[in-house]
Amino acid sequence: MTDEELLTKYRKYKRKRNTIIISILLIVIISVFIFIYISNTSSKEDEKPKEITSIPEVKDEIAPVIKLNTDNIEITEGGDIDYLKYIESVIDDKDGDLLENIIYEEIDTSKIGEQKIIYTVSDSSGNTSQEVIIVNIKKKEEPVSPPKENTSSNKVETPKKEETKPSTNNNNTSNNTSTPQPETPPKEETPSNQSSEKIVKYFLFKDGYTMLNVSEVCAAELKKTNRTGICSPIQDENGIYLGMKLETN
């Protein structure tokens, strides 16, 4: 191969190499341009949402409103309570009617005194409100009339019967009754044989006489003496009748 051929061949190679280098440079330049263009475009698109999200949102800070028809109730011990009866409305400015979301704790009505029913409700933003009803629990009254009537009748009837018996017999004995003796005398005093001496005899219930026959026995004994006298009832210091006393003039 001659020098001219070699030179020609070298020149062709050099041209080809330069073409390749230029092509590569063009590709790199174009790639860089495209990259810069895409980067600028994406940065612009990213900036738009940032501008939108930067607008502050309006926060819901208003709590729901619970409206009750009373704030104080009174019940009897052990009574029932209709808790929803005292709620008129539960309204939120954003969520509307929240009556179904209201919560409360039931109280123990068996405990006497003052207790509280606390109503609570929250909206979707977490705002919470409460209302309170005061409950006054009174003691349940127990019926006491029947036992009082029975006890009083048992106490009154017995003394009445005991008091009426001596009073009726006392009227049947004599119109000239003397003052009852305060002391219990001895059973009997035996009179002497002299007719001028006073005769005194006692007819006591403890010896077997009763209110039904004691006055008759005393009167019969007085008649046997053929003397004037009196049959008088005997009472102790408590007013209890002990029997009859015969005393001649």
What is the second-level CATH architecture of the domain 65-138?
Answer: Sandwich (2.60)
- Taking phi over 0 as left and psi of -120 to 50 as alpha, with beta for the rest, 53 belongs to alpha
The beta strand positions in 54-161, using DSSP E, are 65-68, 72-76, 87-92, 96-97, 103-104, 113-122, 128-138
pLDDT tens for each residue of 13-57: 888 888 898 989 899 999 888 988 888 877 666 665 555 555 677
Alpha carbons within 13 A on the beta-carbon side of 124: 7
Q: Strand, coil or helix: what is 194?
A: coil
User: How high is the pLDDT of residue 140?
Assistant: 87
Spell out a b/e string for 131-150, using b for 16 or more CB atoms within 10 Å of the CB, else e: bebebebeeeeeeeeeeeee
User: How high is the pLDDT of residue 53?
Assistant: 57
Q: Are strands 113-122 and 200-204 parallel, antiparallel or unpaired?
A: unpaired
What's the one-letter identity of residue 187?
K
pLDDT tens for each residue of 210-241: 988 988 999 999 888 888 888 999 988 888 88
Query: Please, where are the H alpha helices in the chain?
Result: 3-53, 145-173, 214-224
Q: What does pTM read for this prediction?
A: 0.38
Among 60-74, 85-99, 117-131, 172-186, which is the least confidently predicted range? 172-186
Residue ranges per structural domain of the chain: 1-37, 65-138, 163-248
